[in-house]
Structure 1
Amino acid sequence: MTDPDDDLNNSSIILDNSGSAFNLAKRIGFFAGPLGALLMILGGYGFGVDGDGGISTPALHTLALAWWMACWWLTEAVPIAVTAILPIVLLPLLGISPIKAATAPYAHPLVFLFMGGFIIGIAMQRHQLHRRIALHIVDRAGHSDVLLVGGVMLAAAFLSMWIMNTATCMMLLPIGIALIDYQQSRGVDGQQLRNFSLCLLLGIAYGATLGGVATLIGTAPNGFIAAFMLETYGLEISFLQWLQVGLPISVLLLVATWLLLTQVVYPPRVKGGMGESGYIHSELESLGTMSGAEKIVAAVFVSAATLWVTRGTISDWFPALQ
């Protein structure tokens, strides 16, 4: 038998080595970004720019800037926020665009929409409102294996409509693991436990992904599509318009995925869920009654969601708010 201390030391060595490798990658990326951009610009001038069939100077500079930002983003050589503001400094300096045009996208209305959603999401996480919502949904879903998976998926989808998918998964993962541990403590093992575990964990991931489709702030690509449609075709997609299309698609795909997971791919066939053990109730009791801060966050969340959905009607009533 191996000594546990040896295993711990070996694990520490692995972690230290991976940390050293990561730091080395950061150092390489820090210099590879600007040096690669400089070499790209000098090489472009060497081969000639603005000639027949050649690349234009602004395009060459833009390509070099893209390389610089890609290196810093991939290696995290500097904080991501620092990389994100490089265009504000370098676009004017490289003659790609004036500073007014370079800074305009940072004040796009969708940026503030996402910022508001992120702030509300952070507040929900800080005061455990998202956990309370998830536990209530799972508690009311039912105690059979299939309904339990559906409840977890529904909780993931609902939360991902308003907060980041990754944050939703990280919050629901401990609940999912507790459900799996409970089934194992009941003597469930073998293929039944494997299928139940896979159903539950995949359900969390798929539920969060599909829930993000439902709203404009559910995931970043939704905002990119809305911005592209506005800038390219002059078509503004409101929160309600996106919801009218995204929510039905999200619900249909969620139900289809739930049925596919529980009936075809990994049918759990386990009777009795976490609700019977009192786990969900005990978790809700541990949260206690809603605190004042939690009530305020809930009120802000409901108010913001209502205003997002009714923005078109409010704009008709008060044209100055458009």
Structure 2
Amino acid sequence: MATCWQGLWAYRFYLIVLCLPIFLIPLPIVVRTKEAYCAYAIILMALLWCTEALPLAITALFPVVLFPLMGIMEASEVCIEYFKDTNILFFGGLMVAIAVEHWNLHKRIALRVLLIIGVRPALLLLGFMLVTAFLSMWISNTATTAMMLPIGHAVLEQLQGSQKNVEEGCDNTTFELQETISQKDEVKLDNGQAVSASSEPREQKAQENQRFRQGLSLCICYSASIGGIATLTGTTPNLVLQGQVNSLFPGNDNVVNFASWFGFAFPTMIILLLLAWLWLQVLFLGFNFRKNFGFGEEEEDRKQAAFQVIKTQHRLLGSMSFAEKTVTALFVLLVVLWFTREPGFFPGWGDTAFANENGQSMVSDGTVAIFISLIMFLIPSKIPGLTQDPKKPGKLKAPPAILTWKTVTDKMPWNIVILLGGGFALAKGSEKSGLSEWLGDKLTPLQHVPPAATVVILCLLIAIFTECTSNVATTTLFLPILASMAQAICLHPLYVMLPCTLAASLAFMLPVATPPNAIVFSFGGLKVSDMARAGFLLNILGVLVITLSINSWSISIFDLNTFPSWAHSNASQCLLNTPNSTKPGL
């Protein structure tokens, strides 16, 4: 019997893939409408995404097969959704991030900031969180965590090793997180036996070191997730939102662009990052803030051990190469072009120099990202430019470009490109089939709930859901439904879509919730209970900060107090006779 169950468990994914379509088949058979057909496809894909019985990207290809067969959309219409402008932005932004990572520019930035911050416990935590969050704004949070975690553990190993070396001679209290007993080798009588008095302080110090190691590990993975929300390209759910808004509301005048998103999300990220720092400091360092900040200690004698590790790593990088300088210049140019293309509060270069007859910009953020990426393929990595060919002695060859296609193919997460496309196809299918309209009509009773309360409830729901499934899949499934709900109750769609997109990044409680959590957990020293205890309150804080942001500075950025004309549709039943429903927070 045990062997039978083991065999079934071994084949569980095959069984899920075979049984789920059969189990759900009564829905399209009994209810023969396009709405039911589309609901069948969405429910099937949602369950496969949750169970991960198939790779996420493979599940995202289901609309290519199901929608044409069900008569929802033509195959040519479905396929277009898989490589839209948002996918181009993701692709171009990642190519620039790959160049930054390939030439170790991110490591140089990290080590330089850590040398400036110092190694006192609280400041060291803050330094790692600031660096990780900044890097995660531009490169993948997985790559950021994988780079920062070994650096952090190397620093701790050196600090704690230095403590052991000086334990007999003098007290190195740099990482004593609470006051300890004197460690002189005194002898006490305990039940008639001689016991060293230094054993208790040593055990206490070991526990403190272990707690600090756990806190540093969690601060790295949490700040990687938090930092990604600040920029449009920082994490995939942000791009899912932009793509869904452009797909569902074609006349929105590019309301979600790099500049507007940054104005909304960057302050949110800063507040949440500082709250996370305070919470992790209290949880793992204790309430002795004087000790945590290293006041009253002989700093020079205590920081040398940790500084030596950072200095050594920084020295090994050498001086900045031509390639690093070029990547830095192009990266800064990319950010400047993104911000000034269509900022909203003053005419951008996209609105003026490259506008169509209607005064709208003909270029997008994706255009800028691809432009900078193309330049990286054209500039050699060394100037002057001839080197010996190692395969053919005596022959000269030109150095490789700053970015090569092999480097891109090795590091590009192609599965995310397909996953993005699958989400856009689902959103378009929901609109074409009428499922979005049907869901919106069913959600009209929410007009009686204050919009601010609706946002809190939805954010909590998304934050819980994203702990168990991919944040990309979560936003892909929920955003079209939220858009329909907002149209039905005459609420600005972005008032619910923006906070729920940020809430999808609040995956702090479980190791499986997001790759940074899994990387940190794999390093050891953490239990699931440690991560759940730290992440639970952080999730609550995240929802509160998001609610604050959407009800304060975001209102002026996106004009959330109105129901925009681009959100009207001939099919939607907007309740225009309920004026309070158009005012968030009332």
TM-score interval, normalised by the smaller of the two chains: 0.7 to 0.9
Which structure 2 residues correspond to residues 210-225 of structure 1 after superposition, within 5 A? Answer: 210-225=226-241
Paired position in structure 1 for 2:410:
none
Cα distance in 1, alignment partners of residues 246 and 224 from structure 2: 27
Paired position in structure 1 for 2:313:
283
CA distance 1:72–1:231, change in 2 (3 Å): closer
Q: Do residues 256 (structure 1) and 247 (structure 2) align?
A: no
Identity %: 33
CA distance 1:102–1:193, change in 2 (3 Å): same
Q: Is the 8 A contact 1:37 1:64 kept in 2?
A: no
Unpaired stretches in structure 2, ≥5 consecutive residues? 1-5, 164-174, 176-204, 295-301, 343-347, 357-361, 364-586
Paired position in structure 1 for 2:40:
63
CA distance 1:38–1:156, change in 2 (3 Å): same
Q: Is the 8 A contact 2:156 2:306 kept in 1?
A: no
Q: Do residues 147 (structure 1) and 166 (structure 2) align?
A: no
1:49 is matched by which residue type in structure 2? V
- Shift in Å at residue 65 of structure 1? 6.5
Q: What whole-Å deviation, never above 9, does each CA across 1:131-182 have from its counterpart, x for those lacking one?
A: 1111111111123221111111000010111112222111111011112212
**Aligned counterpart in structure 2 of residue 306 of structure 1, from 333, 336, 343:** 336
Question: Which deviates further from its counterpart, 100-109 or 210-219?
Answer: 100-109
Which structure 2 residues correspond to residues 1-322 of structure 1 after superposition, within 5 A? Answer: 28-30=12-14, 32-33=16-17, 36-38=20-22, 40-41=24-25, 43-44=26-27, 48-50=30-32, 56-57=33-34, 59-60=36-37, 62-64=39-41, 66-67=43-44, 70-71=47-48, 74-75=51-52, 77=54, 80-187=56-163, 189-232=205-248, 234-235=251-252, 236-262=255-281, 264-267=282-285, 269=291, 271=294, 272-273=302-303, 276-312=306-342, 313-318=348-353, 319-320=355-356, 321-322=362-363
Q: What whole-Å deviation, never above 9, does each CA across 1:175-204 have from its counterpart, x for those lacking one?
A: 111122122102263343133223311211
Q: Is the 8 A contact 1:114 1:217 kept in 2?
A: yes
Cα distance in 2, alignment partners of residues 45 and 244 from structure 1: 44
> Tell me, what secondary structure is at the counterpart of 1:163?
coil
Cα distance in 2, alignment partners of residues 279 and 58 from structure 1: 61
Paired position in structure 1 for 2:201:
none
Cα distance in 2, alignment partners of residues 191 and 70 from structure 1: 42
Cα distance in 1, alignment partners of residues 76 and 103 from structure 2: 39
2:126 is matched by which residue type in structure 1? G
2:116 is matched by which residue type in structure 1? R
Highest RCO, 1 vs 2 (Cα 8 Å, sep ≥ 6):
2
CA distance 1:40–1:254, change in 2 (3 Å): closer
CA distance 1:231–1:57, change in 2 (3 Å): closer
Structure with more helix by fraction: 1
CA distance 1:257–1:132, change in 2 (3 Å): same
- Shift in Å at residue 239 of structure 1? 0.4
Cα distance in 2, alignment partners of residues 225 and 278 from structure 1: 44
Q: Is the 8 A contact 1:33 1:70 kept in 2?
A: no
CA distance 1:292–1:80, change in 2 (3 Å): farther
Q: Is the 8 A contact 2:215 2:284 kept in 1?
A: yes
Question: Which deviates further from its counterpart, 175-184 or 268-277?
Answer: 268-277
> Tell me, what secondary structure is at the counterpart of 1:237?
coil
Cα distance in 1, alignment partners of residues 329 and 310 from structure 2: 24
CA distance 1:296–1:59, change in 2 (3 Å): farther
- Structure of higher CA gyration radius: 2
CA distance 1:70–1:151, change in 2 (3 Å): same
Structure 2 length as normaliser, TM-score? Answer: 0.45
Cα distance in 1, alignment partners of residues 15 and 38 from structure 2: 18
CA distance 1:96–1:274, change in 2 (3 Å): farther
CA distance 1:306–1:30, change in 2 (3 Å): farther
- Shift in Å at residue 92 of structure 1? 1.4
1:315 is matched by which residue type in structure 2? G
CA distance 1:113–1:194, change in 2 (3 Å): same
CA distance 1:302–1:70, change in 2 (3 Å): farther
> Tell me, what secondary structure is at the counterpart of 2:285?
coil
Cα distance in 1, alignment partners of residues 84 and 278 from structure 2: 40
Query: What is the RMSD computed on CA atoms of the aligned residues?
Result: 3.0
Question: Which deviates further from its counterpart, 157-166 or 185-194?
Answer: 185-194
Q: What whole-Å deviation, never above 9, does each CA across 1:16-59 have from its counterpart, x for those lacking one?
A: xxxxx99x75x653464255325633x4466x333xxxxx2552
Q: Is the 8 A contact 2:159 2:306 kept in 1?
A: no
- Runs of 4+ displaced beyond 6 Å: none
- Shift in Å at residue 261 of structure 1? 2.5
Paired position in structure 2 for 1:8:
none
Paired position in structure 1 for 2:369:
none
Paired position in structure 2 for 1:9:
none
Cα distance in 1, alignment partners of residues 264 and 45 from structure 2: 38
Cα distance in 2, alignment partners of residues 256 and 273 from structure 1: 26
Paired position in structure 1 for 2:439:
none
Cα distance in 1, alignment partners of residues 116 and 324 from structure 2: 21
Cα distance in 2, alignment partners of residues 74 and 120 from structure 1: 33
CA distance 1:61–1:246, change in 2 (3 Å): closer
Structure 1 length as normaliser, TM-score? Answer: 0.78
- Shift in Å at residue 231 of structure 1? 4.1
CA distance 1:245–1:40, change in 2 (3 Å): closer
Unpaired stretches in structure 1, ≥5 consecutive residues? 1-20, 51-55
Cα distance in 1, alignment partners of residues 248 and 70 from structure 2: 25
